[in-house]
Amino acid sequence: MAQKEAVSFSNPEEDRSGVPSPADAEPPFNNPSADLILRTSDNVKFRVWKSILREASPVFADMFALGRRPIQPSQFDVDSDGGGDHKPSLSSSSLELEPILDLPELTSTTLRCLLLTIYPPPTYAFTSLDDLKAVLSAAHKYQMDAVMDSLEDVLVRDFVRKETLRVFCIATLYNRPSVREAAARRFLALPPVSAAEAYVDELQDIDARSYHQLLACRRQCASVLAEATRTLSWFQDGAWVFTSLVACGCGRDEISRPLRGPDGGEVGRHIKRWFIAHYERCASALQDKPCGEALEDPALCDQALREATRCDKCRENVYDHMRIFMKSLREYVDGKVSQITTGIYCHS
């Protein structure tokens, strides 16, 4: 398997005029047999194959199909020395010299990242969201849909946990629904104050409606989960240590509560008070963070386990039964949240 390349920022040496000195890109973009040179704003030359660009980008494909030609190297070199404000024409007919296409909007760092996503085998590994954001911008400009699709996985895998709101804004800007949903779901896991006060510069790139929708999604999830955890009717009935089917000296609620019976109907059971208190703590945690991740805190079960293990009868199975219950609750919560986020971001 090819070693993934970590992309880091570097500037080529500049001459006294402030114009970067010409430099050749590092492998694999220094092959002299390549049929095109891409030159960046910092004067780095990337030797590439037109066939690869043609397959990856309809913009380049149209350019080549229309017979447009890159400029002569001498044109750029003269103007870089201070000779006027030349904007290179793509219709130059000097084919005996190395064909060069100038990309003044791209730095060598961004172009290298972009090319590494389309050259076989893919060897990119983004070390910062800023690098990835610049490559997404370039891929969008050149209509490299396959690159945009592949970078969705990178956004979610490498950046959505630590830079949630930035990823949401970037996904909104480039209309990537699955990434928006992943970021919105991760946004649910932020503490209430962090979610309310979160700010990133990328918020300037999206409209107020999109940000309002993100906040509304969080409120909707909290509301739905508050209602869902008022009852245990979603949980399968059985000989659980926290129900009246396991007789012991633990105090229990006088009111019968419904659980899901074997036929899908409801079965009334008296629930032990230590478990009711635990379920209420879970419901409270889900209001602070309206998602399944709120249930991952090991301390959430500590008090219930302490109380249950004081009882000789409950102690026998409480750990197994609580593990099963918490797993089922997590799946139930994840399902409720998924219905909301999918409906908002994947069907809009």
175 & 253 share domain? no
pLDDT (tens digit per residue) in 310-344:
999 999 999 999 999 999 999 999 999 999 999 99
Which domain does 105 fall in, by range?
A: 5-133
Is 344 within the bounds of a domain?
A: no
Domain end point (choices 193, 221, 249):
221
Q: What was the pLDDT predicted at 115?
A: 94
Q: What was the pLDDT predicted at 253?
A: 84
CA atoms of 233 and 228, how far apart (whole Å): 9
CA atoms of 171 and 180, how far apart (whole Å): 5
CA atoms of 290 and 216, how far apart (whole Å): 12
Domain end point (choices 133, 162, 182):
133
Stated pTM of the model: 0.77
Domain end point (choices 109, 133, 157):
133
CA atoms of 330 and 336, how far apart (whole Å): 10
Q: What was the pLDDT predicted at 145?
A: 93
216 & 241 share domain? no
61 & 179 share domain? no
100 & 193 share domain? no
Average pLDDT over every residue of 103-132: 89
Is 347 within the bounds of a domain?
A: no
152 & 59 share domain? no
Is 345 within the bounds of a domain?
A: no
Q: How confident is the model at residue 82 (pLDDT cuts 50, 70, 90)?
A: very low
275 & 172 share domain? no
Q: How confident is the model at residue 18 (pLDDT cuts 50, 70, 90)?
A: low
Share of the chain above pLDDT 90, in %: 73
Cis peptide before 28 (omega within 30 of 0): yes
128 & 17 share domain? yes
251 & 299 share domain? yes
252 & 306 share domain? yes
Q: What was the pLDDT predicted at 6?
A: 45
DSSP conformation letters of 96-117: SSPPEEEETT--HHHHHHHHHH
Q: What was the pLDDT predicted at 66?
A: 77
235 & 116 share domain? no
Is 348 within the bounds of a domain?
A: no
pLDDT (tens digit per residue) in 161-212:
999 999 999 999 999 999 999 999 999 999 999 999 999 999 999 999 999 9
Pairwise pLDDT comparison (16 vs 82), residue with the higher score: 16
- List the single range of 17-21, 69-73, 185-189, 263-267 with lowest mean pLDDT: 69-73
Q: What was the pLDDT predicted at 64?
A: 83
Q: Does residue 93 carry a pLDDT above 70?
A: no
Q: What was the pLDDT predicted at 10?
A: 42
Is 299 within the bounds of a domain?
A: yes
CA atoms of 170 and 211, how far apart (whole Å): 12
Pairwise pLDDT comparison (12 vs 50), residue with the higher score: 50
For residue 171, give every residue at least 6 positions away whose Cβ sits within 8 Å of its Cβ, in sequence order, or none: 155, 177, 179, 180, 183
Q: How confident is the model at residue 121 (pLDDT cuts 50, 70, 90)?
A: low
129 & 9 share domain? yes
pLDDT (tens digit per residue) in 39-73:
999 999 999 999 999 999 999 998 888 765 544 44
Q: How confident is the model at residue 125 (pLDDT cuts 50, 70, 90)?
A: confident
Domain count along the chain:
3
123 & 196 share domain? no
